[in-house]
Amino acid sequence: GENVEQHPSTLSVQEGDSAVIKCTYSDSASNYFPWYKQELGKRPQLIIDIRSNVGEKKDQRIAVTLNKTAKHFSLHITETQPEDSAVYFCAASKDTGRRALTFGSGTRLQVQP
Amino acid sequence: EPEVTQTPSHQVTQMGQEVILRCVPISNHLYFYWYRQILGQKVEFLVSFYNNEISEKSEIFDDQFSVERPDGSNFTLKIRSTKLEDSAMYFCASRGPTGDSYNEQFFGPGTRLTVL
């Protein structure tokens, strides 16, 4: 089955700096890659996603890049703010999200004011 | 904005007891999922459900687990005889109708299950 590895496990940045979180996946059939943000005690919420026919997608301060050949994808957050502090999970699935999501182990991002 | 809801928010039970976790997916969604998250760990897939039957399940989803959509709105997860290691946050998720524009799985707030 699919295996998703995520690094780093913790990341501390100064407010205004950029943050990058990286994930690799094992199943070349995976074609949908969402990123979820989970604040303490709350539900995971989708912040951005990308499909395998696209190399990059941007939404304001958040961007995701995908390298299908290398089977890795990354989340980039620019101009970080204290409210960006949370745990971020990458995930992968097949059939453009219809199938189960396989999650990475999560990255705890701390933005220092 | 419509949301997935789950009840109860916290369930405490004795080992060996049966529990039923309840979810109300977003009303026009067709795909339903259960995931669990042991404290401090990653979110793990349990089962997916479509067209009134299980479409996919993980190795975690053994004979002690079952799912049901008893009416047009509820989606339940039953654990027949709970074990200590079943203690976790259980998330229900749902996904919209078919079509490429409806990829997102929307998660409920979770039920924290504590098995004593």
**CB under 8 Å to B62, separation ≥6 — which residues?**
none
3-state secondary structure of A28: coil
Per-residue pLDDT at A97: 67
pLDDT tens-digit readout, A52-68 = 888 999 999 999 999 99
Q: Is the predicted pLDDT of residue B100 greater than 70, yes or no?
A: no
B89, B60, B39: which is closest to A106 by C-alpha?
A: B39
For residue B105, give the nearest of A101, A105, A106 by CB distance.
Answer: A101
- Do B96 and B32 touch, CB atoms closer than 8 A? no
- Band the pLDDT of B70: cuts 50, 70, 90: confident
- Band the pLDDT of B99: cuts 50, 70, 90: low
Say whether residue B5 is in contact with chain A using an 8 A CB cutoff.
no
Say whether residue B58 is in contact with chain A using an 8 A CB cutoff.
yes
**Length of chain A measured in residues:** 113
Q: Is the predicted pLDDT of residue B98 greater than 70, yes or no?
A: no
Write out the two tokens for A58.
Answer: 């941007």
Mode of pairing for the β-strands spanning A107-112 and A102-103? unpaired
Instruction: Provide the shortest C-alpha distance from residue A88 to chain B (in Å).
Output: 10
Task: Look at A49 and B103 and tell me if their CB atoms are within 8 Å.
Answer: yes
Q: Is the predicted pLDDT of residue B101 greater than 60, yes or no?
A: no
Q: Is the predicted pLDDT of residue B90 greater than 90, yes or no?
A: yes
Q: How far apart are CA A45 and CA A103, in angstroms?
A: 13
Tell me what the mean pLDDT of segment B62-85 comes to. Answer: 94
3-state secondary structure of B74: coil
Per-residue pLDDT at A95: 77
Per-residue pLDDT at B104: 86
Task: Look at B48 and A100 and tell me if their CB atoms are within 8 Å.
Answer: yes
